[in-house]
Amino acid sequence: MSLVNPTSRSKASSKPSARHAETARTYAHPLPIIFPEPTYTFLGLSLTRPLNPHCTALLDPITRSAWVANSGDATILWQRGFFGKGDLSRSEPSWLARQINARKMKGKGLTSEEITAKRRAERKQFKLDRAKAMAAAAAEAEVAFKEEGRVIAPGIAPDGTRIIPSAATWKPTSISVPSEESPPDTPDELQEEIEPIQDLEHLQLSLQEAFFLVWALDCLTVLHPETNEPLTLAEIWNAFQNAHTSSLAPQLALPPPRFDNPFLVSYIAYHHYRSLGWVVKSGVKFCVDYLLYKRGPVFQHAEFAIVVIPVYEDPQDQANSPFKLQNAEPFTWSWLSTINRVNSQVQKTLVLSYITIPAESRVPSKVLSSPACFAHYSVREVVLRRFIPARMRD
């Protein structure tokens, strides 16, 4: 199913700025694998091999994630598909860049977090300036009425110009961007003597992202949390499922496999939308499971919000399951209305993604020994839109 937002908000300028062009160049590759231009062909077939980077991540069963400590690997995974999240940043791992900017104190080359902080400070200053101008205009109008007995329009000068600033004409004064651990002023001659900053940030991959990079793209190596030895695909398969059980023993032993393992259910949805070309990110900020971006977070906001709803093919499997899957029980209309309203306010289309869990009586459990079990799941989608009479008269 191809999702197309009927109310797309992309309003690209006819003449893209240099910054937009640089962003498009930096994030030109949708996946870590790069297919270069064919240099030569034989019988109509290209003999150029794709470039497939091999990144390394450390499994952390406690946080149910994989940590990419190498900054080069983290940059590749983020710029080619927006995989993971910086543990010290909002999304893109930019902690080191923020520290360097804070040390230089030049205000140039701001990161996404610093740009957001600057815009929020400007909006706050605009509201304060507007409130002061409105109070002054009201006082002036009251004085004119008491002393001269005439009524004037508050905020309008005698020549017809507007005194109260508007968002279109207001210009901010110099605003300092809040930064983390801003050092005191340092003379220019001492800048070169400052000790270099150590990058303390790592890229944190969810288990779904890590398994997609391992199994679907073969560009990630996952290390054992204790021995730092590379794990085989079978060991990763068992470890990721075991991370969602109550036992977090270091010996990566898998309890009896089940089709309703939370990792398998969530990965089915993740792989489904990734295979359709969407950039899939966590949607916990908007009370949903996933957010779908057409190109990526740096280009535009997410268009769709995904709620994963497991559906048991055999109700007896749900009764006997040790897992309490989220949204497996029938939800109330108040819950659905709340989620739909939250995402409608931020112009996202809500999608209910029903994941059908195969019955254990129909499919033998030995199928769960490998990712071949994914063929027995199915995905159905229901798109919801909040009805707003004032906006939908046509």
Tens digit of each residue's pLDDT (9 = 90 or more) over 191-229: 444 567 888 899 999 999 999 999 999 999 999 999 999
Q: How much is the pLDDT for 138?
A: 77
Residue 351's SS3 state is strand
pLDDT band at 392 (very low <50, low <70, confident <90, very high): low
Q: What is the pLDDT of residue 159?
A: 52
Phi/psi of residue 236, each to 5°? -65, -40
Burial of 300 (0-12, 13-18, 19+ CB in 10 A): middle
Whether residue 178 has pLDDT greater than 80: no
Q: Are 203 and 86 in contact (CB under 8 A)?
A: yes
Domains in the chain (CATH in brackets) are 46-82+201-246 (3.40.1170.20), 104-193 (no CATH), 256-394 (3.40.1350.10)
Q: Catalytic annotation on 312?
A: no
Catalytic hit among 267, 293, 312, 377: 293
Token duo for residue 131:
């409130």
User: Which one is catalytic: 267, 281, 348, 377?
Assistant: 348
Q: Which amino acid is at 168?
A: A
Question: What are the C-alpha distances in Å from 211 to residues 195, 206, 235, 317?
Answer: 38, 9, 12, 26
Top-confidence residue, 16 or 290: 290
Rounded to whole angstroms, the Cα distance separating 56 from 65 reads 13
Catalytic site residue from 124, 132, 285, 301: 301
293 forms beta bridges with: 279
Summarize pLDDT for 62-81 with one digit per residue, the tens.
899 999 999 999 999 999 99
Does the annotation count 293 as an active-site position? yes
Is 276 a residue whose pLDDT tops 90?
yes
Question: For residue 2, is pLDDT > 70?
Answer: no
Query: Which one-letter amino acid corresponds to residue 304?
Result: F
CA 329 to each of CA 131, 134, 272, 309, 324: distance values in angstroms, whole numbers, following the listed order? 49, 53, 23, 9, 9
137-155 b/e (C-beta count within 10 Å ≥ 16 → b): beeebeeeeeeeeeebebb
Residue 146 designated active-site: no
